Amino acid sequence: SQKIEQNSEALNIQEGKTATLTCNYTNYSPAYLQWYRQDPGRGPVFLLLIRENEKEKRKERLKVTFDTTLKQSLFHITASQPADSATYLCALENSGYALNFGKGTSLLVTP
C-alpha cells in the first residue's frame, strides 16, 4: 500500500539553526511532491512544490530536495525563527485529484 512517512517525533531546535525535516514514501511514482505548514486549529498552507525532474528548489529561507531513487524529500528551514514553529506536512497527489498527506512533523524553534 502507499505510505508517506515523516519524523513522528517533534523537532526542537535553537533559533538561527537549520531545521531539516524528512519525508519518505513507498509505492508512489509521483510527478511532484508538496510541502505544507499547519498551525494549530488552522488549515494547511502551501509552501513549496518540487517536480520529479527537479533535484532542489528554494524559496527565501526554505529549501526542498527530492530524490526519486531514495523516494525521499528533505525540507530545510535555514536561519530558523520562533515564528517557524508549526507542523510541516508533505503530500503526494494520486491520479484521483486527492492529496495524500504524511502525519506531519512538529517543529519548535526556541529563542
- Name which of 42, 50, 40, 43 is nearest 91 in CA terms: 50
How far is Cα 99 from Cα 76, in angstroms, rounded to an integer? Answer: 22
Distance in Å, CB of 111 to other proteins, minimum: 28
# of chain residues touching other proteins (CB under 8 A): 24
Contact between residue 4 and residue 100 where contact means Cβ atoms under 8 Å apart: yes
User: C-alpha cell of 45?
Assistant: 498552507
Does residue 93 belong to the site contacting other proteins (CB under 8 A)?
Answer: yes
Distance in Å, CB of 16 to other proteins, minimum: 28
User: Which residue, 50 or 109, has its beta carbon nearer to other proteins?
Assistant: 50
Residues in contact with other proteins by the rule CB under 8 A? 31-32, 34, 36, 41-47, 49, 89, 93, 95-104
